[in-house]
Amino acid sequence: MFELRILLWTAEQHWYKGFNMYAKLVVGAADANVYQCIRDMCRLLTAATPSIANLSGQGFSTTSSAILDDTPAGWTFVGSSKPTDTPAIGDGAADATLSTSAYLNWALSAPMANDATKLKYALFTQSFIGVSATTPYKSMFSLSGAESVTSAGVATNEGYRQGNSATGATILSANLHVGIGSIIHLIANARHITIIQETKGMMALWETTSTDVHSFYGKPAFVTYAHTNAVAGSLGVISTVTVPNVGTANANVISGVAFGVTNPNTGTFYGTYDISVGATKNISNLFQASLTARANSVDAVGNPKYQISPVFLHNSDIGYPVQYVSGIVPIYWCKAGLGSTGDNVDISGDTYTYFNAANSGGAFGVLLKTS
Amino acid sequence: MLNQEILAYFGDNPVYTFDGSVQELKELQESTANSYGYMIVAGVIYVRAENPIVDSRAALVQGV
């Protein structure tokens, strides 16, 4: 346990000390079936009492996985484009044959804190499409958001599914995956779903603080965020974002989307709004791609200090004020290599868990209050 | 000719205009199981869909 002092954050704090469902999901001795893993995660996220019993045994390992906090996450299952998984999550035998012609999805919803009649929608999508039957590439998934999804998995204004290329001999791996050795940290409450894969990255759907603009247009304030890195070795060494929905391929592995935003100056409505780092429109602290981000600092008398940063975004050029993720979601950024995943960190009396989300390249650390 | 804002949004994807309301677009989407994303510029609904849109209210303005 060590203490971090919060530096350089003078913005107004919104402290919502919520609890999370926290499941540490471990893949067993072979690449897992991504259908079953997604089902496992959806059951956990929608369970009244999350437990190992929610795991079918055909996805994540029931002996190595653990539920570290069984607070219900509070999400509701909406449906799936897979007919056997709607209106309820299927419990059948393992789907040995993965589709290579269509993305299959599973949708969840949760209400907003400021208005329970407004929902945010999350989609898990099995990401393998292609001609290669190479085993590691059959175990990939992405998390995206949407303005709405039907029980048949038909999405309106779905955001980026950061993932792998649909064609070509070279599979590009910007997904999360459930290949052998994968460890997935699934942390969620009704405000967020945050998935961190050790040494690979993270994908998340985060509610943010709402703004007057959101109130004026009657829209929920939430974003999705994905930041993955290539893993050297058999799981692929190339990282590129493909965005099947919006159709723009980026050259990095970071993507973010806001949903259903309107520029009050022009009246232009964006079903999905790109807040990725490559765009100049969003001046924010949402992304951290630099290895030197959050370097160590000192206090007034020279004692060493670590830096942590709040997560926020600012779609200023379309007329939106700053929106905070930190405070709504108990999360901060910190530098990579601060400790080992699972280390406890004290931030002003609150205990957070450190996660090492990536091991090289755009390395970064995540602090989440998990209980 | 689509303006720069719309081109930047949709990239190289097929783009349709939809002569109807957002609610009608949504009903069409659900009845045809066709996921889509849309934006509204100057009162015109521009749509990109997972599968081609076949409807008298939809007019293809870019793409295949």
In tens, the pLDDT along A344-358 reads: 988 888 889 999 876
In DSSP notation, chain B reads: ---HHHHHHHTTS-EEEE-S-HHHHHHHHHHTT--EEEEEETTEEEEEESS---STTEEEEE--
**Interface contact flag, B48 A267, Cβ < 8 Å:** no
Interface test with chain A among B4, B35, B39, B47, by most A beta carbons within 10 Å:
B35
Q: pLDDT tens digits for A121-178?
A: 999 988 754 434 444 456 788 899 999 999 999 999 998 887 655 444 444 457 788 8
**What pLDDT was estimated at residue A191?**
97
The token pair at A170 is 């070279």
Return the structure tokens found at A277. Answer: 């780092």
Check: CB of residue A223 under 8 Å from CB of residue A314.
no
Block residue for tokens 């393998």: A128
User: Which one is predicted more confidently, A252 or A365?
Assistant: A365
Q: Which residues of A touch B33 (CB under 8 A)?
A: 152, 154
Beta-carbon contacts of residue A97 (< 8 Å; ≥ 6 apart)? none
DSSP A12: P
SS (H, E, C) A226-281: EEECCCCCCCCCCCCECCCCCCCCECCCEEEEEEEEECCCCCCEEEEEECCCCCCC
Find the mean pLDDT for residues A108-120. 96
Residue B52, chain A, CB below 8 Å: the answer is: no
Picking from A124, A187, A189, A190, the residue whose alpha carbon sits closest to that of residue A158 is A124
Cβ-based contacts of B15 with chain A (< 8 Å): none
pLDDT in tens, A299-345: 999 998 888 888 988 888 889 999 999 999 999 988 877 888 899 98
Contacts of A167 (CB under 8 A, 6+ apart): A130, A131
Which of residues 25 through 44 in chain B touch A, CB cutoff 8 A? Answer: 26, 29-30, 33-43
pLDDT digits (tens, 9 = 90+) for A50-63: 999 999 998 999 99
pLDDT tens-digit series, residues A202-238: 899 999 999 999 999 999 999 999 887 644 322 322 2
> What ipTM score was computed for the predicted complex, to two decimals?
0.91
> Based on the number of CB atoms within 10 Å of its own CB, is A348 exposed (0-12), middle (13-18) or buried (19 or more)?
exposed
Residue A112 vs residue A235, higher pLDDT? A112
Query: What's the whole-number mean pLDDT along residues B22-49?
Result: 92
Q: Is the pLDDT of residue A280 over 60?
A: no
Which candidate, A224, A225, A213, A226, places its Cα nearest to that of A261?
Answer: A213
Tokens 């997604």 — which residue? A38
- Dihedrals φ, ψ of A195, to 5°? -120, 120
Q: Nearest CB to B37: which of A152, A153, A246?
A: A246
CB contact (8 A) between residue B39 and residue A248 = no
DSSP string, A156-202: EEE-------SSSSSPP--SEE--TT-EEEEEEETTEEEEEETTTEE
DSSP-based three-state secondary structure for A42: helix
Give residue B49's pLDDT: 82
Question: Are A156 and B26 in contact (CB < 8 Å)?
Answer: yes
- pLDDT (0 to 100) of residue A243: 34
Q: Could you tell me if A37 and A331 are in contact, meaning their C-beta atoms sit under 8 angstroms apart? A: no
A31 phi, psi to nearest 5 deg: -55, 135
pLDDT at A212: 97
Confidence of residue A268 (pLDDT cuts 50, 70, 90): very high
